[in-house]
Chain A
Amino acid sequence: MYVTGIGRTKFGTLTETMPELIYQAMYNAINDSPISIEDIGAVYVSNFIGGPSEKQLHLNSVVSSLLPELRLPIIRVETACASGSSALYQAIIALSRFENVLIVGVEKMSNATSSECSQNLGMAGDRMADQMQGLIFPAHYALVAQQHMQKYGTTHEDLELVAFKNHNNSRLNPLAHFSHKDVTLEMIKNAPVIASPLNLFDCSPISDGAAAVVISKNKKSDRDVKITGSALATDHISLSHRKVHTSLEAAKVASKQAYELAGITPKDLDIVEVHDCFTINELVAMEDLGICKPGESKDWVREERTSIKGDIPINTDGGLKADGHPIGATGLAQVFEVTTQLRGEAGERQVDGAEIGLTHNIGGVGGTAVVHILERRG
């Protein structure tokens, strides 16, 4: 199984409508791949809050409208913030039936007010246990951060380093939400508190955007990237339904399966995209993925071991923090970045000799976790 085409839009506050974003991403992916749209057997479309935010559901049929006369099997996939990777996971399974499958993820978030957006994103949490108690998403991860700080001595300065690195990386990614923005450690430190201990710079932005990936059963060109691991695991939806609050069990399960499928260990990774919806989650991800031991992620960040020139570069595109987090597109944007890196086409932010990459995409506060491993051996 191979990634044979990738495409995306710029992320940010955009003027395009949801269908226009979907179309741009699909167009770019088909344009990037040797496959024509007529050779696509099925489409998976991922989206999270198009219902409440844009009052648009039945998105699979919207995609059909964008592909006139094809009348393909198209299905929408929703697993909160992990929707993109979950659609890819489904599409990979669908390769048993189709030679080529297109996956497109989209989110249009900037039309809703910030208050509505908070409420809509909150739908990734349990209605009774979380939403009714006012546990907006920053607050879910604020509790994780506080537990992590208590258990391992992680500090807010460590989170600031994560935000700083990701903002710096996004300066090298012209499609990133904050590609234009110079961010200093001082700005990060002094940002207003959202849900203590997290401040504005611990949170990923409200972004519009779309990303698309074409996958094929057989290799189509030398630029193809092999998919060697694909795993999805789930867990209780509410943090309060679990006993452990410093790691996400679903991410551990999914990554273990993906490593086994690919026959690799975390040490083999050259580049990693993790789900830093909030800075703390980049640290938790490093530990859940086995990149470092529990509690040691802070040391890695302090020693800059995850920067582009570090041991295992993480979120070279800026991550969710600075590339942006258009929910339904995020998981596919991670695949876009890893594929770009493995092809050696990442320009200024290219990681030298990257051959094995991993994407880590989380729904909610770990209710869903999807891990993919991609390889292109030189």
Chain B
Amino acid sequence: MVYECEDCQKQWYYNVMKCIFCQGNVVELAPSKSTVRGITKIEIPSPGHTRVPYCDLLLEDEYGNFEIRKSFSDHELGEMLEAMPKEAKKVAKSRTVGIVGAGTMGSGIAQICAQTGYHVLMIDRHEETARRALIKIDKALSKTTKDEVKQEILSRIKATTNLYEMEHADLVIEVLTEDMELKKEVFRELDNECSKDTIFATNTSSLSVTELSEVLKDPGRLVGLHFFNPVPRMKLVEIIKSKNTSDETVEYAKEVAFELDKTPVITGDAPGFIVNRLLLIFLNEAIDKYSDGTSTAADIDKAVTLGLNHPMGPLALSDLIGLDVCKAILDVLYEGYKDPKYKPCKTLCEMVEKGILGRKSGEGFYKY
């Protein structure tokens, strides 16, 4: 951020308000774009910057002023970039992120937030769950990080059972089970504990973000932030803009996604968003195909992995997700769109009824 004296055009990089040379008013310049003039790729970690490599860019704006900007993406000299939104710059200083729910997704999100340099408050009603999540993060980091760096990352995560500790959070991400009433209750409480500037996010994969937002005093501050499992590895984040979500909140969510080294996509608040709407209809179709008895499960999966270049076939994936979960999402889609194409196929319903749920029950389309 560059500040300039309206009278003598002297410039500062701090908000000085008045010119010490001529007592003129100092105003902030608002550049809209930057050109990459220098790039260095940094290979060694330091506290707050533990994920390497990353790039630091020397950017020149249209006024001929420069700034340093950290980036996890590759850039080229001469490339034009948009100026970073002012709001994003302000909060990039030191975000405190609250994670409500310390299950698999919660601990994954907590891990990448801490690796990015955020302060993380991880909350679970059960002390044991929060404690186990910390151990899990510790283990996950041990595989990829030196002990010294790992300790530094872990020191930024605080596990707690008290929701009121969220009062200083800049962003709270709710990662609870898909239970609308439970989520509503938690957001009502969060609304009371947090400041009026806190941004709320829900990691729901199927529930209505719009409906959830209506329990908040300011529904514009809730956005869907849908991460994928395993969080540290999957590059995608779906940002769900509810009917109420403000543009500022969406921008904020985008900045966070970029800082976490994820690629955000924006979508409206309709069942399944993008990925699950497309995926489940595909899985459902694969199960239906399997039930006609002309192909083995292995052949269907082989066809998809080799013919469509998917890393995993749809039946193996259904087993991994859990057939009950697949059916539940299809039910939500069917209910939401009232379109028979989303109706869970007969075989899927039967398997779920019999308790054949995939990996977790030891049997699905494959035996485990």
B36-44, B104-112, B274-282 - interface stretch: B36-44
- 8 Å CB contact of B43 from A135, A194, A239, A243: A194
Q: Are B48 and A129 in contact (CB under 8 A)?
A: no
Chain A residues with Cβ below 8 Å from B49 are 134, 136
Q: Which residue of B is nearest A128, CB measured?
A: B93
Residue A235 interfacial (CB < 8 Å): no
Q: Are A143 and B46 in contact (CB under 8 A)?
A: no
In A103-157, which residues have CB < 8 Å from any B CB? 113-116, 118-119, 122, 126, 128-136, 138-139, 142-143, 146-147, 150
Whole-angstrom distance between the alpha carbons of A339 and B70 in the complex? 43
Residue A353 interfacial (CB < 8 Å): no
- 8 Å CB contact of A139 from B56, B92, B149: B56
Q: Are A119 and B42 in contact (CB under 8 A)?
A: no
Most buried by A among B40, B54, B56, B77: B40
Residue B64 interfacial (CB < 8 Å): yes
Q: Are A239 and B66 in contact (CB under 8 A)?
A: yes
In B55-103, which residues have CB < 8 Å from any A CB? 56, 58, 64, 66-70, 77, 92-93
Residue A15 interfacial (CB < 8 Å): no
Q: Which residue of B is nearest A242, CB measured?
A: B66
Q: Are A134 and B46 in contact (CB under 8 A)?
A: yes
Chain A residues with Cβ below 8 Å from B230 are none
Q: Report the minimum CB–CB distance from A317 to chain B (whole Å).
A: 27
- 8 Å CB contact of B46 from A118, A142, A240: A118
Chain A residues with Cβ below 8 Å from B46 are 115, 118-119, 122, 134, 136
Q: Are B38 and A135 in contact (CB under 8 A)?
A: no
Residue A256 interfacial (CB < 8 Å): no
- 8 Å CB contact of B38 from A118, A129, A146, A236: A146
Residue B152 interfacial (CB < 8 Å): yes
Whole-angstrom distance between the alpha carbons of A126 and B152 in the complex? 22
Q: Are B149 and A133 in contact (CB under 8 A)?
A: no
Residue A196 interfacial (CB < 8 Å): yes
Residue A241 interfacial (CB < 8 Å): yes
Q: Are A134 and B48 in contact (CB under 8 A)?
A: yes
Contact of A136 with B44 at beta-carbon distance under 8 Å, contacts A115-B149, A147-B38 already known: yes
Residue B13 interfacial (CB < 8 Å): yes
Chain A residues with Cβ below 8 Å from B37 are 147
Residue A192 interfacial (CB < 8 Å): yes
Q: Are A240 and B67 in contact (CB under 8 A)?
A: yes
Chain A residues with Cβ below 8 Å from B66 are 239-243, 245
Q: Are A129 and B47 in contact (CB under 8 A)?
A: no
Whole-angstrom distance between the alpha carbons of A132 and B89 in the complex? 10
Residue B362 interfacial (CB < 8 Å): no
Residue B350 interfacial (CB < 8 Å): no
Q: Are B58 and A133 in contact (CB under 8 A)?
A: no
Q: Report the minimum CB–CB distance from A288 to chain B (whole Å).
A: 19
Whole-angstrom distance between the alpha carbons of A38 and B145 in the complex? 54
Q: Which residue of B is nearest A236, CB measured?
A: B13
Q: Are A193 and B41 in contact (CB under 8 A)?
A: yes
Q: Are A240 and B47 in contact (CB under 8 A)?
A: no
Q: Could you give, for residues 18-34 of chain A, a 1 whenever the CB lies within 8 Å of some chain B CB and a 0 otherwise?
A: 00000000000000000
Chain A residues with Cβ below 8 Å from B152 are 115
Most buried by B among A138, A139, A245: A139
Interface residues on A, range: 35 or more
Q: Report the minimum CB–CB distance from A210 to chain B (whole Å).
A: 26
Whole-angstrom distance between the alpha carbons of A193 and B345 in the complex? 55
Whole-angstrom distance between the alpha carbons of A336 and B280 in the complex? 74
Q: Are A196 and B56 in contact (CB under 8 A)?
A: no
Residue A238 interfacial (CB < 8 Å): yes
- 8 Å CB contact of B42 from A131, A134, A192, A238: A134
Q: Are A142 and B148 in contact (CB under 8 A)?
A: no
Q: Are A195 and B41 in contact (CB under 8 A)?
A: yes
Q: Report the minimum CB–CB distance from A230 to chain B (whole Å).
A: 28
Chain A residues with Cβ below 8 Å from B355 are none
- 8 Å CB contact of A118 from B44, B67, B70: B44
Q: Which residue of B is nearest A126, CB measured?
A: B13
Chain B residues with Cβ below 8 Å from A242 are 66
Q: Are B40 and A196 in contact (CB under 8 A)?
A: yes
Q: Which residue of A is nearest B67, CB measured?
A: A240
Q: Are A135 and B56 in contact (CB under 8 A)?
A: yes
Q: Are B47 and A146 in contact (CB under 8 A)?
A: no
Whole-angstrom distance between the alpha carbons of A240 and B65 in the complex? 8
Whole-angstrom distance between the alpha carbons of A198 and B67 in the complex? 21
Q: Could you give, for residues 24-48 of chain B, a 1 whenever the CB lies within 8 Å of some chain A CB and a 0 otherwise?
A: 0000000000000111111111111
Whole-angstrom distance between the alpha carbons of A136 and B43 in the complex? 10
Q: Which residue of B is nearest A121, CB measured?
A: B46
Q: Are A143 and B48 in contact (CB under 8 A)?
A: no
Contact of A129 with B40 at beta-carbon distance under 8 Å, contacts A115-B149, A115-B152, A243-B66 already known: no
Contact of A132 with B92 at beta-carbon distance under 8 Å, contacts A194-B44, A240-B68 already known: yes
Q: Are A240 and B93 in contact (CB under 8 A)?
A: no
Q: Which residue of B is nearest A196, CB measured?
A: B41
Contact of A192 with B68 at beta-carbon distance under 8 Å, contacts A129-B13, A143-B58 already known: no
Contact of A133 with B41 at beta-carbon distance under 8 Å, contacts A115-B152, A126-B13, A236-B13 already known: no
Chain B residues with Cβ below 8 Å from A147 are 37-38, 58
Q: Are B39 and A146 in contact (CB under 8 A)?
A: yes
In B209-225, which residues have CB < 8 Å from any A CB? none
Chain B residues with Cβ below 8 Å from A238 are 13, 68
Q: Are B40 and A142 in contact (CB under 8 A)?
A: yes
Whole-angstrom distance between the alpha carbons of A134 and B54 in the complex? 9
Most buried by A among B37, B44, B54, B64: B44
- 8 Å CB contact of A143 from B38, B47, B92: B38
Task: Other than A132-B70, A192-B43, give 11 A-B pairs with Cβ distance below 8 A.
Answer: A134-B48, A135-B70, A138-B42, A139-B42, A143-B56, A193-B41, A193-B43, A196-B40, A198-B40, A240-B68, A241-B66
Give the 9 A-B CB pairs with smallest separation, nearest first: A134-B49, A118-B46, A142-B40, A240-B66, A133-B70, A143-B38, A196-B41, A195-B40, A133-B68
Name A's B-contacting residues (CB within 8 A): 113-116, 118-119, 122, 126, 128-136, 138-139, 142-143, 146-147, 150, 192-198, 236, 238-243, 245
Name B's A-contacting residues (CB within 8 A): 13, 37-49, 54, 56, 58, 64, 66-70, 77, 92-93, 148-149, 152
